[in-house]
Amino acid sequence: MYELLKPWLFRQDPETIHEHVMHGLAWLGQRGPALKLVQQLCTVQDERLEVRAFGLRFPNPIGLAAGFDKNAVAVRTWAALGFGHVEIGSVTALPQPGNPKPRLLRLPQDQALINRMGFNNEGAQAIAARLERLQQTFGRPQVPLGINLGKSKVTPLEEAPKDYLQSLSTLWPYGDYFVINVSSPNTPGLRALQDRDKLEELLAALTGFAQGRKPLLLKIAPDLSWEQIDEILALVEQYRLAGLIATNTTTARTGLTAPTDEPGGLSGKPLRARSLEVLRYLHTRLEGRLPIVSVGGIFSVEDLWERLLGGARLVQVYTGLVYEGPLMAKKLCRGLLERMEQAGIHSLEQLKPR
């Protein structure tokens, strides 16, 4: 069905159709019987797929990456579509409209997207209020909820720790884990927070608040050098973060069929090789001491299996969902079970990265 709809969908403006889809998913999340039917059709429930990471239990390793549901409007629906966790945001302390439109482009020939959204979101207070209403009405989400935090555009870099801390404290009751996003290419100067001194100041402030009560993860860019990654890893371990998310979108344009000078972060299949390379490097350096969430160019069960063998504990999808459609999580879960049977393993805990 999705393959039949996709040509029509792809003729629409990408951001406009995304907003329409999100409204539909939000509506569905409020309709109990319809949501239950979707869950029965789209969810693979099998204890062999369970994963434990940073103190949380995930029903399967496939999550929704940040950026798709920025304002937490469809939290309940994602679990019904088969995802093992959901990451909302990026959320900033202050509400902001983001960058001028158009700011989302499809590259169908490369199964890729370029986005320069600029952390458009309703702000931490509004999103906390929405999550509070959802929790009061329906209880906690069925799968772990991650909250991805970014810096407000108007906040100077030297005030970034205070800005992130404001978001973290406001949203603290609602997230199962929190992600420090210093790697988006679409907020001016944000990636400078990956520099050692600035990152250390930020991590000191946020871990001082969290004090190990809930997991804090760091999301890094794919465009870092190995030396930069090593510096970041030293700080991640020094401040005892719970894990890493690798990677965000890239500013590189390597591997595109049709070269483009459109600014923004590139995601999708052209990011696959670099994301996998960074994952393997992190796994080698960390030697299993911290869980890694792998993001970037995951479309198929082959991609998923490759990431798990490469050292990922969990994966996340975004662009793949745009191109593969709403049954993506179900397909990946079914395919993963087949791969596990072929490998003779009865749980993902038995899978040994190589």
- The tally of CA atoms less than 13 A away on the side-chain side of residue 73 is 18
| Burial class, 88, CB count within 10 angstroms (exposed 0-12 / middle 13-18 / buried 19+) | buried
- Whether pLDDT at 354 is above 90: no
- Whether pLDDT at 192 is above 90: yes
Domain count, the chain: 1
What pLDDT sits at residue 51?
Answer: 98
What pLDDT sits at residue 10?
Answer: 97
Indicate the length of the chain as a whole number: 354
Confidence of residue 349 (pLDDT cuts 50, 70, 90): very high
Q: Quick: pLDDT tens for 260-291.
A: 999 999 999 999 999 999 999 999 999 999 99
Domain region containing 192: 2-350
What pLDDT sits at residue 201?
Answer: 98
Q: How far apart are CA 252 and CA 264, in angstroms?
A: 10
User: DSSP secondary structure string, 300-316?
Assistant: SHHHHHHHHHTT-SEEE
Confidence of residue 258 (pLDDT cuts 50, 70, 90): confident
Percentage above 90 pLDDT, the chain: 99
Confidence of residue 344 (pLDDT cuts 50, 70, 90): very high
Decide: 283 and 292 in contact? Cβ < 8 Å.
yes
Alpha helices in 10-93 (DSSP H): 14-29, 32-42, 75-80
For 244-254, what is the mean pLDDT?
Answer: 97
What pLDDT sits at residue 104?
Answer: 98
Whole-model pTM: value is 0.98
What pLDDT sits at residue 320?
Answer: 98
For 201-210, what is the mean pLDDT?
Answer: 98
Q: What is the CATH number of the domain that holds 336?
A: 3.20.20.70
Percentage above 70 pLDDT, the chain: 100
- Whether pLDDT at 323 is above 90: yes
What pLDDT sits at residue 324?
Answer: 98
Question: Could you say which of 152, 167, 184, 267 is catalytic?
Answer: 184
What pLDDT sits at residue 273?
Answer: 97
| Burial class, 140, CB count within 10 angstroms (exposed 0-12 / middle 13-18 / buried 19+) | exposed
Confidence of residue 326 (pLDDT cuts 50, 70, 90): very high
- Whether pLDDT at 123 is above 90: yes
List the one residue out of 29, 181, 10 whose CA is nearest residue 90.
181
* Cross-strand partners of 217: 179, 243
Confidence of residue 130 (pLDDT cuts 50, 70, 90): very high
- Whether pLDDT at 24 is above 90: yes
Q: How far apart are CA 198 and CA 159, in angstroms?
A: 10
For 232-250, what is the mean pLDDT?
Answer: 98
For 152-157, what is the mean pLDDT?
Answer: 98
What pLDDT sits at residue 184?
Answer: 97
Q: How far apart are CA 297 and CA 317, in angstroms?
A: 8
**Secondary structure string (H, E, C) spanning 76-125:** HHHHHCCCCEEEEEEECCCCECCCCCCCEEEEHHHCEEEECCCCCECCHH
| Burial class, 168, CB count within 10 angstroms (exposed 0-12 / middle 13-18 / buried 19+) | buried
What pLDDT sits at residue 255?
Answer: 86
What pLDDT sits at residue 250?
Answer: 98
| Burial class, 145, CB count within 10 angstroms (exposed 0-12 / middle 13-18 / buried 19+) | buried
Q: Mean pLDDT for the chain?
A: 97
What pLDDT sits at residue 1?
Answer: 86
What pLDDT sits at residue 178?
Answer: 99
Q: How far apart are CA 5 and CA 53, in angstroms?
A: 37
- Whether pLDDT at 218 is above 90: yes
Q: Quick: pLDDT tens for 299-313.
A: 999 999 999 999 999
- Whether pLDDT at 222 is above 90: yes
For 118-138, what is the mean pLDDT?
Answer: 98
Is position 347 annotated as part of the catalytic site?
A: no
* Cross-strand partners of 51: 58
List the one residue out of 148, 11, 131, 132 whose CA is nearest residue 73.
131
Place of tokens 């789209």: 42
